[in-house]
Structure 1
Amino acid sequence: MLTILLLAALAQAPAPVAAQGLPTGAPDAGTPAPAVVPPLPVATLTPATHELFERIKGRVVQVRIIERRSGTKSSIGSGFFVSAEGHAVTNYHVVSSIVHHPEDYTAELVRDGKESETVPVKLLAVDVIHDLAVIRMDGAVKDWFELAEREPPQGTRLFAMGNPHDLGTTIVEGTYNGLLQDALYDKVHFSGAINPGMSGGPTVMGEGKVVGVNVATMGNQLGFLVPVVHARALLARAREVKESSPSVLLAEVGSQLLDNQQRITERLLATPVPTQTLGDYRVPGRWLSFLKCWGDTPHEPENPYTITNYQCSSEEDLYLSSDHRTGVVAYDHAYLTSDKLGALRFSALYTATFGNDAGGVDATKEDVTNFRCKEEFVKVGGLPMRTALCLRAYKKLPGLYDLALRAATLNASTSGVQTSLDLAGFSADNARAIARRYLEALAWTK
């Protein structure tokens, strides 16, 4: 069972001790004067964890999503007050069901663990790109967090707070490790345990200023925070909102996603596609730094052919709902070759492994339409290819689509490359433009 982590206080520098037995006045010529070490300024001393916890725990709340029909909690997360007027910051993924299904869900918060004193809250503003939301309760609060104006130095001792597994407010000590490098979406690497239920809670420095919002974990003390700059920006927007509604917020989500895909598209199309050697071919390699690429050739001696795989992915996505993620760029190449199969048997294998199933990222029928595909034979730079290009529309977010491209080279009798590209949450025109640029990077090296 997890318990509240109350870590030992930092050892304080002892006060200087007066020298004993020394006469007043000038020291003896043969005796060096004792060194006087000034005490460490109090402002720079980090408080003990239990002292910090007691001072700020009342500013952290549990956010509950309530299913209307049963009147019981459907999910929980954390949040924290950021204004005297009752504004609180949490994660978008904590409150997303209110945006997508307002007829089924509402939200409330619990302060100081008082189960009998739940407080209804309104959702005022969302930032789906950075997984943030601002909620507000009616009435003033006496104690709230100040949002830091800048990121702390790398290595700074931090404290994450939240309500893990519905066990009550918890404080976890960790370390600030700076922004993730080569990431598509801004995140802070936090060396500390962020457990389920702590999402949306604050991570603070010793003086109590918030430097990040808990958002995700990979386990093994690998946690991630939303940088405080995005929380500051969203709070400023939320302060201007008097009333909001799920329909307005859903439209805002769509607008943010359209802006985001335009930014990604411009980055991709502004950069020539680097290529990677794969057998007798050149294929799209690591297009931009936010893509992570891997390759391997499985060793299966019993097979009369070999398949070498090379794949790249953004390894990040945007949360829309528990069943729907978006904001993905991913592609995969498979080089098939055989010196044992003849042309006819290889052709049969090659046809069987061609992935004309659209696939794509996970989504439900409530979220997206069925894929509509166009399959044809084309030549790209003189290289004959079989292609299948598929699009499906987002039902609640007009103008957004998922694209799935599947292609196979057709120029050799016992070898070839099959490639796939998946884009989630792009306009149809931008998705086609990226797919076209992607295909144009394929080439035969012989």
Structure 2
Amino acid sequence: MFAFLALAMLAQAPVPAPPPAIAQPPVLPQPDEPPPEGEQAPEVVPPLPVATLPPATHELFERIKRRVAQVRIIERRSGTKSSIGSAFFVSADGHAVTNYHVVSDLVFHPEDYTAELVRDGQEPVPVKLVDVDVVHDLAVVRLGQPVSDFFALLDKPPPQGTRLFAMGNPQDLGTTIVEGTYNGLVQDALYDRVHFSGAINPGMSGGPTLTGEGRVVGINVATMGNQVGFLVPVDHARALLTRALAVKAEDTGSEALLATVRTQLLDHQQRITERLLATPLPQQSLGPYRVPGRWLPFLKCWGDTPHDPETPYTVTNYQCSSEDDLYLSSQHRTGVVAYNHQHVSSTKLGALRFSALSSAFFGSDPPSVEATREDVTNFRCHSEFVRSGALTLRAGLCLRAYKKFPGLYDLVLRAATLPSAGQGVDTSFTLAGFSPENARKLARHYLEGLAWTK
């Protein structure tokens, strides 16, 4: 419609008069003549030699496509695919890198699942899971045969803005290559991630993102859509590969892999605990109270006060959380630090009704970290009244244990001020995947951040 109208208007428009003829063309200096006095000669930039130009995408794809494979997780009883991902070869001995979340079923349920790789135009080949890095979402699998073509890993990050190429098997459509841009590490993130401006789609997880020379920069791991993708930096893949090359065959069973995951989680929570305890806890104003604010840069904080004229009280929320977590299985997440404050006030409710309202807020369940009965025990809780400066707090601390990773727990701390003059504050603090000692230390430190400012 619009194209037709535009063409119609063009057809009806009067023909413009031709420009006046130039009586005499301007005189241009000859190539060997000097420029006019007072002017500089234009800089002549020679074209780039052909050898230094980046390769055409199709040429790069044809050269390296056999180094990329599809990972298939096979359910043993039916013999069919239960999930898919991508991987890429990194050694002549048949080692390939992928994401941990692609192969996690082999760690938790090796009796139910197996894995195979499918290379371009070839039959599926069984692979064995060799080693994992659960913190950085990486794994190494190995073919039972050598390969002749594999990737080199980049030694250092490229400059920001470098043209990159992501490869993988999106939506089970076959090996695909996608162009994008390197944008450096994500700032203020708990877990190292590279921001990649390009389309990373389901099924490409575990595939490589590389330079035009074919060197791997990162491993596809996640996407937010709209050309916003994320990569695991290649340094972590290099470290994992170094370990995997030294792993003995007897250390690749399910029990050994679960022990590896447990050790990595314990080390990780210790590092987070030390960072938090070494940082003074900032305070945020909330009504006449001061509450824990943004503790470290990896925590993102938000505030809001919903407005409902029908409600006889006002609630102001302030919450902070680590936006990333650690994937253990499709139904179990860990590595979370989160807290939420609610300032409740009312000029319409009497003392008894407001006290009942405050108790209802305190008794509500905070958002819990995803897990199942197979993963964790029930929460065991303890409540008491505690002092934080001039404040008396009603506090409840709950812990639940990880069944497959002894020594790791989830913690939920609830605390509330005693209602006073039609207002009060309640707070919740959630940790996932911490030792009970570290969880209690952090809970005590957190409560010290609550204060009365009136």
Query: TM-score of the superposition, structure 1-length normalised?
Result: 0.91
Q: 1:422 offset after TM fit, Å?
A: 0.5
- Once residues 130 and 226 of structure 2 are traced to their aligned partners in structure 1, the CA distance between those partners, rounded to angstroms, is 35
Q: 1:113 offset after TM fit, Å?
A: 4.2
Partner residue in 1 for 2:318: 310
**Preserved CA contact (<8 Å) 1:305 1:336:** yes
Partner residue in 2 for 1:124: 130
**Preserved CA contact (<8 Å) 2:354 2:419:** no
Q: Which letter maps to 1:429?
A: E
Q: 1:43 offset after TM fit, Å?
A: 4.4
Q: 1:30 offset after TM fit, Å?
A: 6.7
**Preserved CA contact (<8 Å) 2:170 2:176:** yes
- Whether 1:212 aligns to 2:218 is yes
Q: Which letter maps to 2:136?
A: H
**Preserved CA contact (<8 Å) 1:358 1:371:** no
Q: Tell me which of 157, 164, 177 is aligned to 2:163.
A: 157
Q: Which letter maps to 2:215?
A: K
Q: 1:42 offset after TM fit, Å?
A: 3.7
Partner residue in 1 for 2:154: 148
RMSD: 1.8
Residues 321 and 30 (structure 1 numbering): CA distance in 2 closer, same or farther, change over 3 Å? closer
Residues 43 and 240 (structure 1 numbering): CA distance in 2 closer, same or farther, change over 3 Å? farther
- Once residues 315 and 35 of structure 1 are traced to their aligned partners in structure 2, the CA distance between those partners, rounded to angstroms, is 50
Q: 1:36 offset after TM fit, Å?
A: 6.6
**Preserved CA contact (<8 Å) 1:276 1:283:** yes
- Whether 1:53 aligns to 2:61 is yes
- Once residues 39 and 284 of structure 1 are traced to their aligned partners in structure 2, the CA distance between those partners, rounded to angstroms, is 58
- Paired positions, count: 419
Q: Provide, for residues 274-296 of structure 1, a one-character-per-residue CA deviation record: whole Å limited to 9, x for no partner.
A: 00000010000000010000001
Partner residue in 2 for 1:349: 357
Partner residue in 2 for 1:22: none
Residues 275 and 31 (structure 1 numbering): CA distance in 2 closer, same or farther, change over 3 Å? closer
Residues 382 and 113 (structure 1 numbering): CA distance in 2 closer, same or farther, change over 3 Å? farther
Q: 1:423 offset after TM fit, Å?
A: 0.2
Q: 1:352 offset after TM fit, Å?
A: 1.4
**Preserved CA contact (<8 Å) 2:355 2:419:** no
**Preserved CA contact (<8 Å) 1:383 1:411:** no
Q: Tell me which of 424, 441, 450 is aligned to 1:442.
A: 450
**Preserved CA contact (<8 Å) 2:165 2:210:** yes
Q: Provide, for residues 21-47 of structure 1, a one-character-per-residue CA deviation record: whole Å limited to 9, x for no partner.
A: xxxxxx966799998754413443111
- Once residues 47 and 95 of structure 2 are traced to their aligned partners in structure 1, the CA distance between those partners, rounded to angstroms, is 40
Partner residue in 2 for 1:199: 205
- Once residues 348 and 253 of structure 2 are traced to their aligned partners in structure 1, the CA distance between those partners, rounded to angstroms, is 65
Contiguous gaps of at least 5 residues in structure 2? 1-30
- Once residues 251 and 292 of structure 1 are traced to their aligned partners in structure 2, the CA distance between those partners, rounded to angstroms, is 32
Partner residue in 2 for 1:286: 294
Q: Tell me which of 318, 336, 341 is aligned to 2:344.
A: 336
Seq. identity, %: 76
- Once residues 351 and 229 of structure 1 are traced to their aligned partners in structure 2, the CA distance between those partners, rounded to angstroms, is 50
Q: Which letter maps to 1:178?
A: G
- Once residues 240 and 152 of structure 2 are traced to their aligned partners in structure 1, the CA distance between those partners, rounded to angstroms, is 14
What is the 5 A alignment of 1:85-96? 85-96=93-104
Q: 1:355 offset after TM fit, Å?
A: 3.3
**Preserved CA contact (<8 Å) 2:164 2:210:** yes
Q: Which letter maps to 1:268?
A: L
- Whether 1:77 aligns to 2:85 is yes
Contiguous gaps of at least 5 residues in structure 1? 1-26
- Once residues 208 and 32 of structure 2 are traced to their aligned partners in structure 1, the CA distance between those partners, rounded to angstroms, is 57
Partner residue in 1 for 2:277: 269
Query: TM-score of the superposition, structure 2-length normalised?
Result: 0.90
**Preserved CA contact (<8 Å) 2:290 2:451:** yes
Q: 1:69 offset after TM fit, Å?
A: 1.0
Q: Which letter maps to 2:197?
A: S
Partner residue in 1 for 2:244: 238
SS in structure 1 at match of 2:150: coil
- Once residues 345 and 35 of structure 1 are traced to their aligned partners in structure 2, the CA distance between those partners, rounded to angstroms, is 81
Q: Provide, for residues 366-397 of structure 1, a one-character-per-residue CA deviation record: whole Å limited to 9, x for no partner.
A: 00000000011222213111111000000000
Q: 1:350 offset after TM fit, Å?
A: 1.1
- Once residues 84 and 257 of structure 1 are traced to their aligned partners in structure 2, the CA distance between those partners, rounded to angstroms, is 31
- Once residues 317 and 111 of structure 1 are traced to their aligned partners in structure 2, the CA distance between those partners, rounded to angstroms, is 32
Q: Provide, for residues 305-353 of structure 1, a one-character-per-residue CA deviation record: whole Å limited to 9, x for no partner.
A: 1000000001110000000000000000000000111111111111112
